[in-house]
Amino acid sequence: MAQTIRIKRGTKAQLDAYGKLSAGELGFCTDTKEIFVGDGSENILAGRAMSGTEASRPNSGVPGRMYYVTSANNMGYLYIDDGTAWRRVNAQKLTDLTGTIDDIADGANFAKVKKADITAGSVNKVSDGTNTKTAAEIKTHIDDASRHRQINDTAVTATSLWSSQKTNTEISNAVRGLDWQDSVGSRAITAPPSSPQAGFRWIIPSFATGAWSGKATQIAHWSGTGWVYYEPKQGWSVYIHDENKNYVFNGSAWVRSGEANQTITAGNGLTGGGQGDTVTLAVGGGNGITVSATAVSARAGKGIVVNGTGIEANIDQDSLVYDSANGNRLTVAVVDGGTF
């Protein structure tokens, strides 16, 4: 007859209450899955490294044993027995390490700095990979007042300064390239306003008259003293005040890019949406669902029953359970693979 050998067992709390295991007695904690062996005075976790002072460490000769120094000399070090000697495992000080910084290779994110390129703890050179300059050379360049007082409106070198007029012109050109992003008042006014307010803007429609004649699709900006016109480029987008809508230039005309204050959510079998003022949502048919002009019906089958009450599902409360306490959900209760 087969025999079953079982060691003393119980929870960790029960072991603690039981106390010391006898020498050689094993105990298994059913909750923490730990195994302890007793020595008559304490319960020792199986697999735990030996510990104590370095002076009380046993002689080497059993490969794989580990010993942790708990006090006195070399406290905190862990040793492993290789069969002939105890070898230190962890390093706690830089002096425990061998080799030099020169042994460390440059990495992907960090690199070494040559000792010759460090002065008083600071890097004394900078380089872009082609040009290398020392701190002294950089300082000499910065302190050279003659280089930084040159004003040349035609040159673009790093040592050339522009006049205030040239600087203002460049800033104006840069800002002008961004002006198209501002909103416009309307795209339907054909005649330029007689008393426009400075900074106001309009999209010029077809058949515009007066100063706007022949400038269809352009953006007219009243600077306060005259009209400034912007030729739109494909992708430009503006908000039009009197329509409360966004428009985008497609390369030839301004077209709607979506309702400014419109939110449409479609799902659960609904399709639809768009950018117009009127949006149509449709219910999709299929998979047993029939959609007619005035009603939606379901075809019975595969556990679905259609009757005068409505649409019902066959819930056996065994493999399928109706969970009314958690959002009226259908859940899978039991999956039984059976026997071979």
How many alpha carbons lie under 13 Å from residue 166 in its C-beta half-sphere?
A: 10
Range of the domain at 306: 298-340
Residue 116 and residue 131: Cα distance in Å, rounded? Answer: 17
- If 0-12 CB within 10 Å is exposed, 13-18 middle and 19+ buried, where does residue 16 land? exposed
* Closest to 115 in 3D by CA, of 128, 125, 130: 125
CA torsion sign, 183 to 189 to 190 to 194? negative
* Closest to 271 in 3D by CA, of 251, 290, 256, 285: 285
| CA distances from residue 217 to 199, 213, 214, 224, 242 in whole angstroms, order as listed | 18, 11, 9, 22, 17
pLDDT score of 260: 39
Residues 161 and 194 in one domain: no
Residues 63 and 35 in one domain: no
94-129 confidence digits (pLDDT tens): 777 777 777 778 888 888 888 888 888 888 888 888
Q: Does some domain include residue 281?
A: no
Residues of the chain with pLDDT under 70: 1-3, 47-48, 92, 145-153, 155-163, 165, 170, 172-181, 258-314, 316-319, 332-340
Residues 38 and 60 in one domain: no
Q: Does some domain include residue 67?
A: yes
Q: Does some domain include residue 276?
A: no
**Cβ atoms of residues 333 and 320 within 8 Å:** yes
Q: Render 213-228 in DSSP notation, one character per residue.
A: TT-TTPEEEE-SSSEE
Residues 213 and 233 in one domain: yes
Residue 195 and residue 213: Cα distance in Å, rounded? Answer: 18
Residues 207 and 250 in one domain: yes
**Cβ atoms of residues 330 and 322 within 8 Å:** yes
Q: Does some domain include residue 291?
A: no
Residues 213 and 150 in one domain: no
pLDDT score of 338: 45
Residues 194 and 141 in one domain: no
pTM higher than 0.85 for the full model?
no
Q: Does some domain include residue 127?
A: no
pLDDT score of 184: 93
Q: Does some domain include residue 163?
A: yes
Residues 191 and 255 in one domain: yes
Residues 225 and 251 in one domain: yes
Residue 3 and residue 44: Cα distance in Å, rounded? Answer: 28
Beta bridge partners of 270: 283
Q: Does some domain include residue 252?
A: yes
Q: Does some domain include residue 254?
A: yes
Residues 31 and 71 in one domain: no
* Closest to 182 in 3D by CA, of 204, 207, 200: 200
58-78 confidence digits (pLDDT tens): 888 878 888 899 999 999 899
* Total domain count, the chain: 5
Task: For residue 240, give the 3-state DSSP assignment.
Answer: strand
Residues 253 and 191 in one domain: yes
pLDDT score of 340: 25
| CA distances from residue 141 to 118, 122, 168 in whole angstroms, order as listed | 21, 20, 27
Residues 255 and 203 in one domain: yes
